[in-house]
Amino acid sequence: MEIFLSILINLAILSLGYFIGSVNFAIIFSKKKEKGDIRNNGSNNAGATNSTRVYGKKFGIIIFVLDFLKALIPTLTLGLLIYFFGDKIPFLIITQSITLGVIIGHIWPIFHEFKGGKGVSCSVVLIFSINILLLIFSVIIFVVMMKWKKIVSLAVIIVTVFCTPLTFVLMIPQITLSLYKYTYFLNNININNAWLIFASVSSIYIIAAGIVMFAHRSNIVRLINKNENSFIKKTT
Distance CA 181, CA 176 (A): 9
The helix/strand/coil state of 189 is coil
Among 41, 6, 201, 13, smallest CA distance to 105 is for 13
Residue 192 vs residues 7, 9, 86, 130, 176: alpha-carbon distances, Å: 18, 20, 13, 19, 13
50 assigned to some structural domain? yes
141 assigned to some structural domain? yes
Among 114, 230, 223, 128, smallest CA distance to 170 is for 128
189 assigned to some structural domain? yes
Residues 6 or more apart whose Cβ sits within 8 Å of residue 170:
130, 131, 133, 134, 176, 179, 183
Could you tell me the residue range of the domain that residue 186 belongs to? 2-224
236 assigned to some structural domain? no
Distance CA 102, CA 17 (A): 5
235 assigned to some structural domain? no
pLDDT at 107: 98
153 assigned to some structural domain? yes
DSSP track, 111-167 = GGTT----SHHHHHHHHHHH-HHHHHHHHHHHHHHHHHT--HHHHHHHHHHHHHHHH
If one counts the domains in the chain, the total is 1
230 assigned to some structural domain? no
pLDDT at 47: 93
pLDDT tens, residue order, the chain (236 aa): 678 898 999 999 999 999 999 999 999 999 998 888 999 998 899 999 999 999 999 999 999 999 999 999 999 999 989 888 877 888 889 999 999 999 999 999 999 999 999 999 999 999 999 888 889 999 999 999 999 988 999 999 999 999 989 888 877 766 666 665 545 556 666 657 777 888 888 899 999 999 999 999 999 999 999 888 776 544 43
pTM for the model stands at 0.90
